[in-house]
Amino acid sequence: MSALAAESAAGTAESFYVTPEFWVLVAFVITVAAIIRPFLRFVTTALDKRSQTIAERIEEAQRLREEAQDLLASYQRKQRDAVKEAEEIVDHARRETERMGGRATADLEKAVERREQMAMERIAQAEAKAVAEVRSEAVDVALEATRRLLAEKLTGQKADALVDDAIKDLPEKLH
């Protein structure tokens, strides 16, 4: 530049594009542009790939998040259903236990009533049997006493007449 100033002062005015400094500057700018352009293209391509990879990862993360939320909701529904089913099973078991307890109580009461009835029937049978045995024994004792009494007190014709009357009354008393 000092040369340019010196030439201007000398009176010859050359244009600025004729000077070698200008052309060195132009060559430098072209060289830098030629070097930077592919570098910028490389950097831009790398940044585009990186941003595309990040966008894909974000989309995948959102998709995975939605799947995880759906899965969580599904498991929460399953848990609620399982809790509800467990409560229903417990309620059913409780009702079944109460029903079976009521049935067992009723069956026990019926069994006690049957046994009591059977015991009463046995007592009645034993009582009837005892009364029959007592009557039979009383009849035997009365017959024996009557026989002795008749044998001692009755004689001959009176005895024969009583025996004949007893034989006549016998068919009516047996039926």
**Is it the case that residue 1 has pLDDT exceeding 70?**
no
The answer to whether 153 and 162 have CB atoms below 8 angstroms apart is no
Tell me the domain boundaries of the chain.
Answer: 2-174
What are 5-60's pLDDT values in tens digits? 555 555 556 788 889 999 999 999 999 989 988 888 999 999 999 999 999 999 99
Tens of pLDDT along 127-146? Answer: 888 888 888 887 777 777 77
CB 162 within 8 A of CB 150: yes
CA distances from 4 to 25, 29, 114 (A): 15, 21, 141
Whole-angstrom Cα distance, residue 151 to residue 155?
7
Structure tokens at 153: 């007190």
Residue % of the chain over a pLDDT of 70: 90
pTM of model > 0.75: no
